[in-house]
Amino acid sequence: MRDFDAQTTSARGRNARGQTTIDFGIGVSLFLMTVVFIFIFIPSMFTPFVSDQSSSITADRTADTLATDLFLSGDDGPYTLDGGCTVAFFSQFEEDSPSPPPSRCQYESFYAKESEIISNALGSGSPSTYANISDEADRQDVEEEYLREVLGLSDTTGIEITIERINSSASQNIARVRNRDGYDTELRVGSTPPIHGNVIAAQRTVHMEYRDFNTGAYKEADFRLFVRMW
């Protein structure tokens, strides 16, 4: 009887130890799987929010830079743009606008680094002047490269800058004015924002004197400066 009890106790001990080992193995496996899940999936869940926040800050900073520095000549306060410098910034990419921006402007002219910017945007063997680029997509790539250069943006940043009329009844709100050479200029530069995807926009209300593109008369008005990034 004693031997039978001893054998039973020994068997129970072996069974208990075997069950404990299995439980321990399952527990460790579940723990490791949980750790792997956290390291792989959790960071990616927050990535879009971090990216959006960074893009929003960059767009806001760029809008401020334009409205309080680059589009000013020093004579007026923030958000009161120098019409000549502002229009010249956009008209650099008009076919009928050979004149460089006035020397008082705060930004570096596209013409100063034209061939280098074109080469960076389109690669070697590309045309040396913007006027010789016929493809619209290539033109927008060059404009975008210039904006990244002037504004200190990363090489992967997509950007469009527009100045738009406030409370306009026209179907197209982007302002059109007469530039210093007497030609019509649309106040838009950069690439066209994608239809699908996340586009961050920042805007500032600005005041500017300009020449009406129909009559050539000087006028003043408030506009909205938009910076769109993706």
Please name the residue that has the structure tokens 């923030």: 78
Alpha-carbon span 42 to 30, nearest angstrom: 17
User: What is the total count of domains within the chain?
Assistant: 2
Write the DSSP assignment of 103-153 as a string of letters: TT-SS--GGGGHHHHHHHHH-TT--SSGGG---HHHHHHHHHHHHHHHHT-
Residue 37 Cα distances to 9, 32, 88, 139, 225, angstroms? 42, 9, 54, 45, 44
Residue 38 inside a domain? The answer is: no
As a whole number of angstroms, the distance between CA 165 and CA 169 comes to 9
Higher pLDDT: 53 or 152? It is: 152
pLDDT at residue 133, as a whole number: 93
Q: What is the pLDDT of residue 90?
A: 95
Same structural domain for residues 24 and 54?
no
Angle between helices 136-151 and 114-122 (to 10 degrees): 120
Q: For residues 15 and 98, state if they share a domain.
A: no
| One domain, residues 219 and 167 | yes
Residues 24 and 56 in one domain: no
80: in domain: yes
Q: Are residues 156 and 86 in the same domain?
A: yes
Whether 15 and 58 map to the same domain: the answer is no
Are 15 and 77 contained in the same domain? no
SS3 193: coil
In a domain, 40, yes or no: no
Is the same domain home to 136 and 110? Answer: yes
**pLDDT tens per residue across span 72-88:** 977 778 999 999 999 99
pLDDT for 212 beyond 80: yes
Asked whether residue 173 is domain-assigned, the answer is yes
Q: DSSP 3-state assignment of 92? A: coil
Boundaries of domain holding 8: 1-33
Supply the pLDDT for residue 71: 95
Q: pLDDT (tens digit, 9 = 90+) per residue, 6-29?
A: 455 554 555 555 556 777 677 777
Q: Is residue 139 part of a domain?
A: yes
CB burial of residue 71 (10 Å; 0-12, 13-18, 19+): buried
Residue 153 shares a structural domain with residue 188: yes
Is there a domain that residue 27 lies in? yes
